[in-house]
């Protein structure tokens, strides 16, 4: 999936235990700049069910915020184009922004309990919602089997439900 994204590095501080502590002011500023751009530019959406994505990168302590775009669309500056690899996505639903940390922790614990390994840092997939004060999202990780293979075979059809999103 192609994404138009904004990125801010260093919005997480590494803690002595290795965890990342968010700089909420910097994260809020990134989302505000991105949403102002999105409303002004009105990019050609590639998926109408996803309002936005938040992609954490623990290596650079950065956050990318993005929206899916059509393959033929070239977003204007300052947005960058990013190809999202996709794959099996193990996630937990969060009803609102203040539930994201807990949902991400639940998804991380489940991934470990299943013997899977994370193939990404935390991903937040925000969905369109009729209530603009509510921001539901799926919080989770791209996952692989211990041997590096995709844990789910490609679905035979869209009629077959999967326990993990693809």
Other C-beta atoms closer than 10 Å to the C-beta of 125 total 21
Residue 165 has pLDDT above 60, yes or no: no
Say which range, 82-86, 113-117, 158-162, has the weakest mean pLDDT.
Answer: 158-162
Residue 135 has pLDDT above 80, yes or no: no
Predicted local confidence at residue 157, as pLDDT: 59
- Structural tokens at position 26: 């910097």
Contact 23, 12 (CB under 8 A): yes
Residue with tokens 């809020």, as numbered in its chain = 28
- Would you give the end-to-end CA distance of the chain in angstroms? 12
Confidence band of 14 (pLDDT split at 50, 70, 90): confident
How far apart are alpha carbons 54 and 63 in whole angstroms?
7
Contact 151, 116 (CB under 8 A): yes
Predicted local confidence at residue 120, as pLDDT: 94
Residue 129 has pLDDT above 80, yes or no: no
Could you read off the pLDDT of 20-57 as tens digits, one per residue?
888 989 999 999 999 999 999 999 888 778 889 999 99
Predicted local confidence at residue 18, as pLDDT: 82
Domain edges within the chain: 1-84, 87-161
How far apart are alpha carbons 24 and 114 in whole angstroms?
32
pTM of the model: 0.82
Residue 118 has pLDDT above 80, yes or no: yes
- Which of 135, 126, 128 has its CA nearest to residue 98? 135
Predicted local confidence at residue 128, as pLDDT: 75
């Amino acid at each position: 999936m192609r994404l138009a994204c904004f990125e801010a590095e260093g919005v997480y501080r590494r803690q002595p235990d290795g965890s990342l502590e968010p700089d909420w002011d910097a994260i809020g500023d990134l989302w505000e700049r991105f949403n102002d751009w999105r409303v002004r530019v009105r990019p050609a959406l590639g998926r109408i069910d996803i309002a936005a994505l938040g992609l954490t990168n623990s290596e650079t302590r950065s956050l990318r915020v993005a929206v899916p775009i059509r393959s033929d669309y070239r977003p204007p500056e300052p947005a960058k184009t990013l190809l999202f690899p996709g794959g099996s996505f193990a996630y937990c639903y969060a009803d609102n922004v203040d539930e994201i940390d807990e949902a991400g922790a639940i998804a991380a614990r489940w991934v470990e309990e299943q013997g899977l390994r994370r193939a990404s840092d935390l991903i937040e997939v925000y969905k369109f919602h009729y209530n603009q004060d509510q921001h539901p999202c799926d919080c989770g990780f791209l996952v692989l089997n211990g041997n590096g293979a995709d844990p789910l075979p490609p679905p035979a059809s869209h009629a077959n439900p999967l326990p993990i999103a693809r």
